[in-house]
Amino acid sequence: MSDSDAATGGELDAELAALLDIERFDPPAKFRERALLKDPAVYERAASDPQAWWASQAEELDWFQHWTRVLDDDDPPFYKWFTGGTINVSYNCLDRHVIAGHGDRVAFHWRGEEGQERDITYAELLGEVERFASALKGLGVGKGDVVGIYLPMIPEVVVAMLACARIGAPHNVVFGGFSAEAVRERMEFSEAKVLITVDGAARKGKTAPVKDRVDEVIGDLATLEKIVVVRSKGTACQMREGRDVYYEDILAEAEPTCPAEPLDAEHPLFILYTSGSTAKPKGILHTTGGYLTGVSATHRYVFDLRAGGDPDPDVYWCAADVGWVTGHSYIVYGPLCNGATSVMWEGAPDYPHKGIWWELIERYGVTILYCAPTAIRACIKWGAEWPNKHNLDSLRLLGSVGEPINPKAWLWYHKVIGAERCPIVDTWWQTETGAIMITPLPGITATKPGSATRAFPGVSADVLDESSGEPVQQGQGLLVLTHPWPSMLRTLYKEEERFIETYFQRFGSETYLVGDAARRDGDGYLWVIGRIDDVVNVSGHRLSTAEVESAIVAHAEVAEAAVIGQHDEDTGQAIVAFVTLQGDIQGDESTIEGIRETVSGRIGKFARPKRVIWTEDLPKTRSGKIMRRLLRDIAEGRALGDVTTLRDPVVMQQLQDQVSQARAQEE
């Protein structure tokens, strides 16, 4: 580092330190002037009649048939929204914009890893979606058939999702970072009929052979009839006669028109698997009318979106992956439904260089950026010189999602990226909630770094005391949502009992248990603390400790494993595994690598344990339950909590010694 760099770094630190004293940030006057929502009365209006508020949001959509009832709450927790209404998501995302004369508007500025550029207009997207929807029908996909999608960040992933939505085939997207094994499992659970995947995917200058990996594991799935392969990288792949077809080939032969199917408001739109407290992922089921209402309303108001047609239209960029719910709701459905122009980036934030995000913001004139705290922390580490090389004046609003944002990252985002001019919306929500639930409204709500502030209009959040279940006026408790909302999950796919148990048992069928702890401060602001179950959040990726444990014990030399999430500067939480090996096998570096490989293969690279700690035994209760709480205490170097219920308290002492030894070695 040169002297001048050091000076800048020091100055920045001092400026950030000064900002730490500011408790609240009001919406900047210039922003507020033009904001879509600037009257705080909107909160009271929505709260006084949430159904009327959500109905007014649903009126913004095009319905084939208007609903007769807004909310059917006759049989909680099985809520139905917009009963009697028929609608099509792809029609709302595409056709209606083209019909309104906006066919030439860019839907996505797509940018490939090697600098390739493709601008896709709404008319072009509609054309390709219609063709692909016809092609899917040609493959025998009908209303209600599940279609798996395992694709990287290429335009075809959006086409595939919308084509499914067009014909009423629920999609089941698997994030490209998951292993083929994880894809297989999800295809099996959902009984998918077709899987859409790719020949190869870009991975920082290399190409990963996706189709080949899928072939290795998928072979004998009874329900899977067809595999559609997008030719993206030209990677050679084996095509099985009668089962595999190329996307481009079936597209070329397909009928160019395929009218959008009018679907019941409660028709399933997609299943998305996410981690719960057991090794088996949960298939979150979302439906059509309510989901679209929730994502379009939140996308419009939380991001204060001005679509084309406005003299000063936004260029919006959600830097997540389509394979997570953030991508479903805020790359695909929310933005397209609102007619937004978005950026879609194929690659990682540090390839071809650590300034690529800022280069893209300058290149496309991005006005709204939505990303995860873990990415912001990586940028802080790489240094302000990367963003400082680019003109980021186009930005007017910043968003954060996926985990609590620490005040230091918030202030850096505010200062270095937003130049103190852009409000930050820290948005709390989940795969289950479908849309943003707790968030500032950027033209109204004063923000406090680290707090997601308050519930979105029409949403009711509360903090309940863990033992009494009574609302906590000020202090910590369990976060709940106390009124149904249109984009809520409808069930866990094929696991109705688990749906009720997980979310609606603790406080009854009318109170949704979130699974997060939260604190309410004296101003009523909500501060989400983290999960209360065995779910960990690594770089915004949701994982269950049980899932990782079951992957680790698949390793031939492992007898038993216990996994915890440990606080981590970069990734929020990191996976730490306590492992007992078979017989008297001695674990070494290569065993650790072997374990990491096993986890990579079973789940995906992002789930690999950062640390592996050998142990002769695990702390268990007399009934044999692993006490992860004690392992967390050990890993974080805290004083141990109650150990009296342990079967063998000696285990703890051994473990503590082991961990301090490992620490000493690391340092």
- Name the site residues for ligand WT7 (rule: CB under 6 A): 274, 324-326, 401-404, 426-431, 452, 515-516, 528, 530-531, 537, 542
Q: What is the DSSP letter of 428?
A: B
| 368-371 vs 397-401, strand pairing mode | parallel
Distance of CA 648 to the CA centre of its chain: 40
Which residue's CB is nearer to ligand WT7, number 276 or number 355? 276
Q: What's the number of CA atoms in the CB half-sphere (13 Å) around residue 424?
A: 32
Min. distance of Cβ 539 from ligand WT7 in angstroms? 11
Sign of the C-alpha dihedral computed for residues 511, 517, 521 and 526 taken in this order? negative
Nearest to 334 by CA among 465, 434, 202: 434
The sign one gets for the Cα dihedral 97, 99, 103, 105 is: negative
- Residue 256: CB atoms within 10 A of its CB come to 10
> Residue 506 in 3-state DSSP?
coil
Min. distance of Cβ 452 from ligand WT7 in angstroms? 5
CA distance linking residue 358 with residue 585, whole number of Å: 50
Pick between residue 71 and residue 479 the one whose CB is nearest to ligand WT7: 479
404 or 457: CB nearest ligand WT7: 404
Give the span between the Cα atoms of 618 and 626, in whole angstroms.
Answer: 7
Instruction: Give me the least distance between CB of 423 and ligand WT7, in Å please.
Output: 15
**To the nearest whole angstrom, how small is the minimum distance from the Cβ of residue 442 to ligand WT7?**
15
Separation CA 542–CA 308 (nearest Å): 35
Q: How far is the CB of 224 from ligand WT7 (least distance, A)?
A: 26
Nearer to ligand WT7, 120 or 320 (CB): 320
The nearer residue to ligand WT7, 298 or 550, going by C-beta atoms, is 298
Q: Is 194 in contact with 141 (CB distance < 8 Å)?
A: yes
Length of the chain: 667
User: Least distance to ligand WT7 from the beta carbon of 657, Å?
Assistant: 33
Q: How near is the Cβ of 128 to ligand WT7 at its closest, in Å?
A: 27
User: Shortest distance, CB of residue 627 to ligand WT7, whole angstroms?
Assistant: 22
The residues that bridge with 538 in the sheet, in sequence order, are 541, 572
Place of tokens 């084309």: 308
When the beta carbons of 345 and 428 are compared against ligand WT7, the nearer one is 428
Residue 245 or 401 having the CB closest to ligand WT7: 401
Are the CB atoms for 551 and 607 separated by under 8 Å?
Answer: yes
Q: Min. distance of Cβ 213 from ligand WT7 in angstroms?
A: 24
- Angle at alpha carbon of residue 655, lines to 649 and 660, rounded to 5°: 135
Q: How far apart are alpha carbons 438 and 302 in whole angstroms? A: 10
Kindly tell me which of 131 and 531 has the beta carbon lying closer to ligand WT7: 531
264 or 547, CB closer to ligand WT7? 547
- Separation of first and last alpha carbons in the chain: 24
Interaxial angle between packed helices 210-218 and 180-190, expressed in degrees from 0 to 180 and rounded to the nearest 10: 50
132 or 429, CB closer to ligand WT7? 429
Residue 187 has a CB neighbour count (10 Å cut-off) of 25
Q: How far is the CB of 537 from ligand WT7 (least distance, A)?
A: 6
CB of 444 to ligand WT7, least distance (A): 18
Counting DSSP H helices and E strands in the chain, the numbers are 23, 30
Residue 342 or 427 with smaller CB distance to ligand WT7? 427
Helix, strand, coil content of the chain in percent (nearest 5): 35, 25, 40
At a CB cut-off of 8 Å and minimum separation 6, what does 571 contact? 374, 538, 539
